[in-house]
């Protein structure tokens, strides 16, 4: 399934802007579960990739507190501004495929509904960037639209894929993926995955740790 180009993705999310908050109805529980699994602590250095309107980044900034660091990176200049304003922390305009951060900069990375805009052939590039900027022992939580696991969610995904074939833009560039195996192949260990269905929309939550033994 063809994916949208970075330029196209940026334009889609520039236009969507704050209206993307409406998706919370279908994605909120999966993100909450992802945040539980991330186990962010006061003082942590946390990166959110693709913070969108900044709801999660605002939460992360509150948890890490003044002793920690929360930063974001978003492809869309409009989303970068919205999340910066909402969370009150730095958000740079940039691409998950080439993170402008030093090796081992972060204790935690959170990324929701971004990898499902990116071609599977590029997952190794993105995941190796996540791996590089995490400290050994650091944790990535990624949440994405995924394949259905129940009757209603399978029906939803079938309809969504049909719409995507007609117009990826109408689907905001998003289509179902599974990331667990790619995270393992990128060197994360352990890697766990679970699926949450909310209003028939299935989301995969992958928790992946950069092992202490692989010090690059």
Ligand X SMILES: C[S@@+](CC[C@H](N)C(=O)[O-])C[C@H]1O[C@@H](n2cnc3c(N)ncnc32)[C@H](O)[C@@H]1O
Q: Where are the alpha helices (DSSP H) in 39-95?
A: 55-64, 77-87
3 sits near ligand X (criterion: CB under 6 A): no
- Can you tell me the distance from the alpha carbon of 148 to that of 176, in angstroms, rounded to the nearest whole number? 9
- Can you tell me the distance from the alpha carbon of 43 to that of 177, in angstroms, rounded to the nearest whole number? 33
Query: Which position has the token pair 């928790």?
Result: 207
50 sits near ligand X (criterion: CB under 6 A): yes
CB of 212 to ligand X, least distance (A): 27
- Can you tell me the distance from the alpha carbon of 32 to that of 18, in angstroms, rounded to the nearest whole number? 19
Q: Which of 26, 106, 113, 131 binds ligand X (CB under 6 A)?
A: 113
99 sits near ligand X (criterion: CB under 6 A): no
Cβ atoms within 10 Å, residue 73: 24
- Can you tell me the distance from the alpha carbon of 174 to that of 172, in angstroms, rounded to the nearest whole number? 5
Asked if 76 and 14 count as a contact pair (C-beta separation under 8 A), the reply is yes
- Name which of residues 9 to 48 contact ligand X (CB under 6 A): 9, 13, 20, 27, 31
Comparing every residue's Cβ against ligand X, the nearest one is: 52
The two tokens of residue 98 are 């080439």
Candidate segments 111-119, 149-157, 158-166, 189-197, binder of ligand X by CB under 6 A: 111-119
CB of 20 to ligand X, least distance (A): 6
Candidate segments 6-14, 34-42, 183-191, 194-202, binder of ligand X by CB under 6 A: 6-14
CB of 136 to ligand X, least distance (A): 24
CB of 126 to ligand X, least distance (A): 7
49 sits near ligand X (criterion: CB under 6 A): yes
Asked if 193 and 180 count as a contact pair (C-beta separation under 8 A), the reply is yes
Positions in the binding site for ligand X (CB under 6 A): 6, 9, 13, 20, 27, 31, 49-52, 73-76, 79, 95-97, 112-114, 117-118, 172, 174
């Amino acid at each position: 399934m063809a994916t949208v180009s970075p330029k196209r993705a940026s334009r889609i999310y520039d236009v969507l802007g704050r209206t993307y908050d409406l998706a919370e109805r279908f994605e909120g529980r999966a993100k909450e579960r992802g945040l539980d699994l991330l186990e962010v602590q006061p003082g942590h250095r946390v990166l959110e990739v693709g913070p969108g309107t900044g709801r999660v980044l605002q939460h992360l900034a509150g948890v890490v507190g003044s002793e920690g660091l929360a930063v974001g990176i978003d492809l869309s200049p409009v989303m970068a501004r919205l999340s910066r304003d909402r969370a009150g922390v730095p958000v740079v305009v940039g691409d998950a495929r080439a993170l402008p951060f030093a090796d081992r900069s972060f204790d935690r990375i959170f990324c929701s509904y971004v990898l499902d805009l990116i071609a599977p052939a590029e997952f190794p590039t993105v995941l190796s960037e996540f791996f590089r900027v995490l400290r050994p022992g650091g944790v990535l939580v990624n949440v994405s639209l995924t394949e259905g696991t129940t009757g209603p969610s399978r029906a939803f995904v079938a309809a969504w894929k049909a719409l995507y074939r007609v117009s990826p833009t109408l689907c905001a560039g998003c289509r179902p993926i599974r990331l667990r195996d790619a995270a393992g192949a990128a060197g994360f260990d352990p890697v766990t995955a679970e699926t949450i269905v909310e209003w028939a929309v299935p989301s995969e939550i992958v928790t992946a740790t950069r092992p202490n033994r692989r010090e690059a």
